[in-house]
Amino acid sequence: MWVRRLFFILALLYILPFWVVEYIPTTDGPCHTYNAWVHRQHGNVEEYPLFNSHYEIDPRPLPNWITHGTLTLLMLAVPPLLAEKILVSGYVLLFLAGAWYFVGSVRPTERWPAFLAFPFVYNQLFQFGFYNFSISLGLFFFAVGFWWRHRDGFGLGAAVTLNLLLWLCWFSHILSFMLALFSIGVLWLVTLERDRLRRHLWQIPALGPQIFLPIWFFAAQGTATVGSASSFADLFRNFNSLLVLFTFSVVQIHGARLLALLFLVLTVLTVLRRRPLRVVKEDGFLLLSLLFVALYYLSPEGMSGGSILKPRLSLYPFLILLPWLSPWRGRLAPAVSAAALALVAALNLGYLVHWYRLLDVEMRQYARGLEAIRPNSRVLPLLFEHSGSADLTSIFGHTFSYVALEKGLVDWDNYSATTSLFPVRFRRSVHRPNVWHIEATPHEFPLRQYLDQVDYVYTWKMPPGLVVARRLRSGYDLIWEKDGGALWQRKPPRAKRVQSPHAQPARRGERLRAGA
């Protein structure tokens, strides 16, 4: 009982980093919050006229709706930044509760492996601000765990519940949805019994509704892939060192390597404990882990418009093992394991709080330069430094979006609105800058082409002597500069001077008195 209490106390404490800062230091998180606010205020043309004229809402059943939909609903009651904190707090609790449920689905009396989920909470994908994908991991746990619990008595109620869980997973992220279906399929084959064949076969049509959304999605998005540029040696090193947990400093790399080694040791001990060696139904999770490893190595880097596929895939081989790990005999070793892992999780929490507070200061410093922007303007952020004190997380990447939503600004670096994967997107009639130019080549951005569409330019840590600096000075006035940030306002159009044909040129003395 104390193990359960300890787990859930730690789970509640793991939302603390979000509540000690003003801005959550992720890369894309501000962009998602901004787009949810655009969705919330889309019809409010009196206060936010630019939202309606520049953006449109895509009502199709895209597999990225859950973040936008949840934030939009929360924003009916609370301000945007508070809504984001509630959302990510919900993610943490969902992920950890899912891990506890998942482990308990297979080993109800041996749940200490669920503590191994704590280091995965603030993983690289979450710190990139991939909120939809992060939420899908918790739903993946619940979907697969639910099927395992009800596999022998899979009636109509279980079929309805599992379909609902899978649909929630779909509206979070397509990868977890597909892997949840794949996992259920593999486990179904592993646990298939001849004397219960009819009950098992009924599960196939019971999950039939899940086929329609993927067919529609791939028909709409296509199946084009992006090949991986990483060598096998790089992939091997990244996987075996759990590089997907590296976000803020190299200290995490050492901890992640130890965690990967711990998983290997626990796997070997679990196999050796089974004397004589025999195959049991639970070994389906080990088989899935091996299949996920193969998928990690063989998959492309992106598909159907999505990207960063391999880092996402590197999580599943470890997480799917949680309910299978059972290396200890007796009661003392599992209790000691739970206590030791809880201590490590608590130390990691202190580390996270430290970094969140440090990066929040830097993000607020970045945002101070945006205070002079007038509401309902169109702004181009050009960043020449993205990470601040963090080694990997690009905390400045979309920090501007936090200010943009408050003032009803158009953020020309709103990358998600340029794709067909998210509910909010730019109208096709809008003449907008190329996001690739903004993010990849800010030093040579073609400002003259977009002079009429950019009211302000905000530069961050811009080196002197760049081509774009000359272009800025020719079309914009520098109105604020401090701590590496500079705000540029478009110059007013020059008024044409019309001289009366009856006007007489002023005498020299009059010109001097007038200060000519």
pLDDT band with cut points at 50, 70 and 90 for residue 192: confident
Longest alpha-carbon distance in the chain: 113
List 57's β-bridge partners, or say none: 424
Mean pLDDT for all residues in the chain: 92
DSSP 478: E
Q: Reply yes or no: is the peptide bond before residue 276 cis, omega within 30 of 0.
A: yes
**Average pLDDT of 232-248?**
95
**Average pLDDT of 29-34?**
97
Copy the structure tokens of residue 44: 């409010």
Can you give the pLDDT at residue 495?
A: 59
Rounded Cα–Cα distance for residues 469 and 447 (Å): 10
pLDDT band with cut points at 50, 70 and 90 for residue 13: very high
Rounded Cα–Cα distance for residues 434 and 415 (Å): 9
Range in 62-66, 202-206, 324-328, 426-430 with the lowest mean pLDDT:
202-206
DSSP 249: -
Residue type at 505 in one-letter notation: P
Assess whether pLDDT exceeds 90 at residue 180. yes
Which of the pair, 203 or 26, is modelled with greater confidence? 26
Residue type at 438 in one-letter notation: I
Copy the structure tokens of residue 494: 């020059």
pLDDT band with cut points at 50, 70 and 90 for residue 195: low
31 touches 130 (CB < 8 A) = no
**Average pLDDT of 172-177?**
97
List 485's β-bridge partners, or say none: 460, 482
288 touches 186 (CB < 8 A) = yes
CA distances from 218 to 3, 168, 222 (A): 44, 18, 5
- For the sheet with 476-482, list strands across it: 410-411, 378-383, 456-460, 485-490, 476-482
Copy the structure tokens of residue 224: 């084009």
Can you give the pLDDT at residue 506?
A: 46
Tell me the pLDDT tens digit for each residue of 261-275: 999 999 999 999 887
378 touches 42 (CB < 8 A) = no
Which of the pair, 246 or 331, is modelled with greater confidence? 246
Rounded Cα–Cα distance for residues 41 and 12 (Å): 32
pTM of whole model > 0.85? yes
Can you give the pLDDT at residue 461?
A: 95
DSSP 170: H
Say whether 411 sits in a helix, a strand or coil: strand
Of the chain, the percentage scoring pLDDT greater than 70 comes to 95
Can you give the pLDDT at residue 196?
A: 72
Nearest of 336, 337, 403, 333 to residue 370 by alpha carbon: 403
Tell me the pLDDT tens digit for each residue of 299-358: 999 999 889 999 999 999 999 999 999 998 778 899 999 999 999 999 999 999 999 999
